[in-house]
Structures are given as structure tokens and as C-alpha cells.
């Protein structure tokens, strides 16, 4: 069962090193203490106690004997706590009834649902079991879920490190040998080298969702810091070059032997650096020296947005970046038209 109102796995992967991801890693990296009775139960590098499996401490030493009070305290009201408990119970039931393949899929799809409240509730249900067999089922379920979560955490950490290396490679032409980041770079050729890197790495399949989420997270952090305008502009350029590369892979400028002027003009804008857009608008639109009307340009931009929505995964970073790039062109065109008409 998909847990409502929870971040998807995309938002987890999207986190930058040192922000969301490592915050969640701290949540999942449970500190488990030995108790004085029961046999040892191992899970990877962790040592748990059985049958007193659930007498361990999570986070800042929350005692499971107070778990029912804590569930209510987290929400602040009984009704909210009840709804939360019902939601977790449904998740636990779905996990218990799932076969191995379905179980793995459920855990991955609801990865952020396995927080403190989940483990507290699972412990409570284990305590109410009347038979040792039922308790064992819960222990095995806990072990399996923890193993899958650990696997996701490790793979995501590796993916973030890999995406960071790809980003460093793309930025190398503009940062190599530079003591302080500035934008635009002193060497104009550096941007062309960045573009060559992006085109090559896209062909090699390196610019996937993990990479796009990493760049987006770094850009968000740079904007929040406000003291790194050069870095923010540089990362924004990376996303623009990526969008131009992907959108330029398909051309709609020809119908048979005829060239559709509005489509050709849009594709010229897509391939051009943002710094050249103003001149291109003045040369290409009828309000300047061109032959394409503003309405025709608006129509082909909307059509390209529709095509992009159809061809990309809904809610993906790729979809968002491509759509933002097209809307950026549209917004700049509107600004130029207002300026000329005003």
C-alpha cells in the first residue's frame, strides 16, 4: 500500500550529500543496544536480542515501554495518532501478505515510511502476539525490511557519489585552476567545453535522474546560501545545456519538403545560449525584423511542452527541467514583446 502524504523515492534520491540523504541515513542508521537477557540475533553488522527483539533504543534512546504514549505525543492529538496507527497497520499487513518480490517493491516505493513510528508500531504488534511462531514472523519481517532499507541507503549513497563525480567532470573546464568561482568564466571557450562534456556524457547515459537530482539539490543549496551567485549561475547553466541537448535531439521543423518557420525558429532558440535570445527575438519575430508572429511562437512552444509531457516520466527531474527551459524561452519572448510594444 502506498503511504499517503509521504515523499516518494525520487525525493529521497534527490537529496544532496549532507542534506536530506544523510539526514534520512541518520534516521535509518538505528543505534541498537544489547539487553541483559535473550539470545543474540544478527542483522548485518547489527546485533539484536531475541526474544526481546524490540527492547532496543532508537534515535535518542526512546524507550519502547513508553511507545503508546509517544505515538499520541507525536501527533499531539488522539485522532491524529489513531489515523497514523491505522495507516501503519495497513502497511504492516501489506508487507506480511506480500511475496518476496512484492515486499521489496513495497519497501522501495514507501522507503520514507520506515521511520520511528513504524518500528514502534511493529514492536507493539509483536508484543501482543500469543504464540512464538507469530513473534518469529514479525522478527523475520523486521529483518527483511531492514535489509532492503540498508540496500537502498547504500545504493543511493553510491549513486550520489557517482553523480557528484559526473558533475565535477562537467564543471572542470570552468573551475580548473580557478581560485574563486566567477560567472561568466574568464575563458569563453570553457562553456563550449562544458557543452561538449554534457553531450558526450548524455550519449553515455550518465545524465540520468540521479545526476539531475544532484545538480538540482546543489543549485537549491547555492541559492539558499545567497553568497555563491557564481556557483548558482554555473549550475543553472549545466541544466540549460542539458535541456538544450535533450530538446535538440528531435526536430519538427520539416513537413515533407517544407520548413515550418515557427518550429525552426523555436529550435534555433533552444540550441542558442540564453545570452543570445534577445537578439534572436528581435531578428526572428514580426515585431522586429523577422517573419514569425508572437502567436505562432507561443503555439509551437505550447505544442513542444505537450510533446515533452507525453514523452517524459511524470514528476521526473528530466520533465521538470525541460518544461522550465521551454517556459523560460516563452517568458523571455513575452518580456521582449512587452518592451517593444510599450
CB 92 within 8 A of CB 138: no
The reported pLDDT for the residue numbered 342 is 67
Torsion of CA 313, 314, 320, 323, to 10 degrees: 90
Q: Whole-number mean pLDDT of the chain?
A: 78
Percent of the chain with pLDDT strictly greater than 90 = 40
The reported pLDDT for the residue numbered 40 is 30
The reported pLDDT for the residue numbered 341 is 78
At a CB cut-off of 8 Å and minimum separation 6, what does 166 contact?
A: 201, 206, 207, 211
Q: CA nearest 30: which of 144, 126, 150?
A: 150
- Three cell numbers, residue 259: 520548413
The confidence band for 110, taking pLDDT boundaries of 50, 70 and 90, is: confident
Q: Beta-carbon neighbour count of residue 315 at 10 Å?
A: 10
Measured between alpha carbons, how far is 107 from 91 in angstroms, rounded to an integer? 10
CB 75 within 8 A of CB 81: yes
pLDDT tens-place string over residues 129-178: 888 888 889 889 988 998 888 888 777 676 667 888 899 999 998 887 76
CB 20 within 8 A of CB 14: yes
The reported pLDDT for the residue numbered 154 is 75
Measure CA of the first residue to CA of the last residue in the chain; give whole Å: 56
Is pLDDT of 276 > 90? yes
40 backbone dihedrals φ, ψ, rounded to 5°: -80, 145
The reported pLDDT for the residue numbered 130 is 87
Which is more confidently placed, 6 or 159?
159
Query: What pTM did the predictor assign?
Result: 0.59
In the chain, what are the domain boundaries?
9-155, 250-342
Q: How far is CA 139 from the centre of its chain?
A: 32
Measured between alpha carbons, how far is 51 from 37 in angstroms, rounded to an integer? 9
CB 135 within 8 A of CB 126: yes
Which is more confidently placed, 310 or 51?
310
Strands (E) located in the chain: 39-43, 46-50, 254-255, 258-259
Residue 254, beta-bridge partner list:
259
Q: Grid cell 521489496 — which residue?
A: 104
- Going from the C-alpha of 339 to that of each of 140, 278, 282, 334, 336, the distances in angstroms are 68, 11, 11, 9, 5
pLDDT tens-place string over residues 208-239: 998 999 899 999 998 988 877 888 999 999 99
The confidence band for 33, taking pLDDT boundaries of 50, 70 and 90, is: very low
Amino acid at each position: 500500500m502506498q503511504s499517503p502524504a509521504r515523499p516518494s523515492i525520487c525525493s529521497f534520491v534527490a537529496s544532496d550529500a549532507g542534506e536530506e540523504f544523510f539526514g534520512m541515513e541518520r534516521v535509518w542508521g538505528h543505534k541498537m543496544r544489547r539487553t541483559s537477557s535473550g539470545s543474540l540475533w544478527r542483522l548485518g553488522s547489527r546485533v539484536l536480542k531475541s526474544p526481546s527483539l524490540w527492547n532496543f533504543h532508537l534515535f535518542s534512546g526512546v524507550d519502547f515501554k513508553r511507545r503508546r504514549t509517544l505515538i499520541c505525543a507525536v501527533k499531539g492529538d488522539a485522532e491524529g495518532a489513531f489515523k497514523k496507527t491505522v495507516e501503519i497497520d495497513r502497511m504492516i499487513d501489506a508487507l506480511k501478505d506480500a511475496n518476496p518480490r512484492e515486499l521489496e517493491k513495497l519497501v522501495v516505493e514507501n522507503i520514507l515510511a520506515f521511520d520511528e513510528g513504524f518500528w514502534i508500531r511493529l514492536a507493539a504488534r509483536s508484543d501482543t502476539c500469543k504464540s512464538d511462531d507469530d513473534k518469529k514472523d514479525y522478527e523475520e519481517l523486521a529483518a527483511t525490511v531492514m535489509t532492503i532499507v540498508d540496500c537502498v541507503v547504500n545504493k543511493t549513497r553510491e549513486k550520489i557519489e557517482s553523480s557528484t563525480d559526473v558533475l565535477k567532470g562537467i564543471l572542470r573546464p570552468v573551475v580548473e585552476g580557478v581560485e574563486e568561482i566567477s560567472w561568466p568564466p574568464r575563458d569563453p571557450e570553457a562553456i563550449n567545453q562544458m557543452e561538449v562534456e554534457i553531450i558526450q556524457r548524455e550519449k553515455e547515459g550518465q545524465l540520468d535522474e540521479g545526476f539531475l537530482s544532484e545538480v538540482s539539490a546543489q543549485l537549491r543549496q547555492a541559492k539558499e546560501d545567497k553568497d555563491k551567485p557564481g556557483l548558482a549561475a554555473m549550475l543553472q547553466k549545466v541544466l540549460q545545456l542539458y535541456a538544450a541537448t535533450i530538446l535538440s535531439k528531435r526536430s519538427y521543423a520539416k513537413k515533407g519538403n517544407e520548413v515550418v518557420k515557427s518550429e525552426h525558429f523555436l529550435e534555433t532558440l533552444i540550441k542558442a545560449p540564453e545570452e543570445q535570445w534577445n537578439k534572436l527575438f528581435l531578428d526572428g519575430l514580426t515585431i522586429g525584423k523577422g517573419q514569425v508572429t508572437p502567436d505562432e511562437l507561443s503555439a509551437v512552444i505550447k505544442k513542444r511542452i505537450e510533446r515533452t509531457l507525453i514523452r517524459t516520466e511524470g514528476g521526473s527531474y528530466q520533465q521538470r527541467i525541460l518544461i522550465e527551459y521551454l517556459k523560460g524561452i516563452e517568458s523571455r519572448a513575452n518580456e521582449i514583446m512587452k518592451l517593444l510594444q510599450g
